[in-house]
Amino acid sequence: MDAQPNGHLELAALAASGNPVARQALVERVGPRVRVIAVAILGNRAEAEDAIQATWVEILTSISSYRGENLTGWADRIAARTAMRHARQRRLRATRMAPELDLEILPAGASVASFPGHDIPRPLLDYLADLAEPRRVVLVLRHVLDYSVAEISELTEVPINTVRDRLLHARAQMRRAIRRDLAMARVYGGRDR
């Protein structure tokens, strides 16, 4: 193993022993990624806070079993699993409240932001929020975390073909939204000027 993983192992051991400096270093090293994974998978900053907190509990609980692999990759997986668990719980709550909705097909987020002409161009998080949960998870794992389709299949425990299908549908949905916004911007921008 190279020096970097050994450094990670040392950091992990110190953090596991409760060393505040090591814990601070751990927060600084993987904190931004934990945050972005939770926010991107849940599509909502407020809801992501709970997932982030749960991820930190998970990381600090299991840091003693860390064996020296890539630290950020290790933390990424914990963050992704935790965020997906929160997403599933949220979906179950939504299903109980509105069992007639097919959440695989309908957008998960409120569509106010996608009203024609509203606040164009939109931040990336808006487009992610408009995706249904299963599609958003796959899209984030593929494009934000750069996992392969096979890795996503393993992580989400979903067949490869289903992962591929969700990824293509998510991309198609985002593509439609982007192109609609671009068209609206051309119309509204031209009129306003």
Partner 1 sequence: MTRTACERWVTLSDRAATGETLTHDERAFQRAHERECPDCAAEARIWVALGQAREDPTVLDEAAAWAPRTPSFASKLRRGRTLAVIAVLTAATLAAAVPAGLRRLERPARVASVASAPPTTLRSASARVEFDAASATPRSAAQSVAPEAAKPAALEATTRRVAADTSGEMNVLSAEELLTRARSLRAAGRAVEAAQAYRHLIMTWPRSSEARVGLISLGELELSELSEPAAALHDFSAYLKVRGSLDPEARYGRIRALARLGRQAEELSEARAFVRDYPSSPQASDLRTRLSL
CB 95, CB 103: distance < 8 Å: yes
Q: What binding mask, one character per residue, do residues 78-117 give for partner 1 by CB under 8 A, x or -? A: ----------------------------------------
CB 54, CB 96: distance < 8 Å: no
Of the listed pieces 4-12, 48-56, 85-93, 106-114, which binds partner 1 according to CB under 8 A? Answer: 48-56
Q: What is residue 103's DSSP assignment?
A: T
3-state helix, strand, coil in the chain (%, to 5): 75, 0, 25
Please state the closest distance from residue 45 (CB atom) to partner 1, in A: 6
Of the listed pieces 1-9, 31-39, 83-91, 92-100, which binds partner 1 according to CB under 8 A? Answer: 31-39
Choose between 4 and 95: whose C-beta lies nearer to partner 1. Answer: 4
Instruction: Work out which of 11, 12, 39, 131 binds partner 1, going by CB under 8 A.
Output: 39
CB 82, CB 137: distance < 8 Å: no
d(CA 140, CA 123): 15
What letter represents residue 147's amino acid? Answer: Y
Tell me if 77 contacts partner 1 by CB under 8 A: no
Choose between 24 and 95: whose C-beta lies nearer to partner 1. Answer: 24
Of the listed pieces 1-9, 63-71, 78-86, 184-192, which binds partner 1 according to CB under 8 A? Answer: 184-192
Using CA atoms, how far residue 168 sits from 108, 109, 120, 132, 172, in Å, is 17, 19, 24, 13, 6
H or E segment to which residue 137 belongs: helix 133-139
Choose between 53 and 95: whose C-beta lies nearer to partner 1. Answer: 53
Query: What sign does the dihedral 114-105-161-35 (CA atoms) show?
Result: positive
Q: Report the interface residues with partner 1, using CB under 8 A.
A: 20, 23-24, 27-28, 31-36, 39-40, 45, 49-50, 52-53, 56, 119-125, 127-128, 139-140, 142-146, 148-150, 164, 167-168, 171, 174-175, 178-179, 182, 185-186, 188-190, 192-193
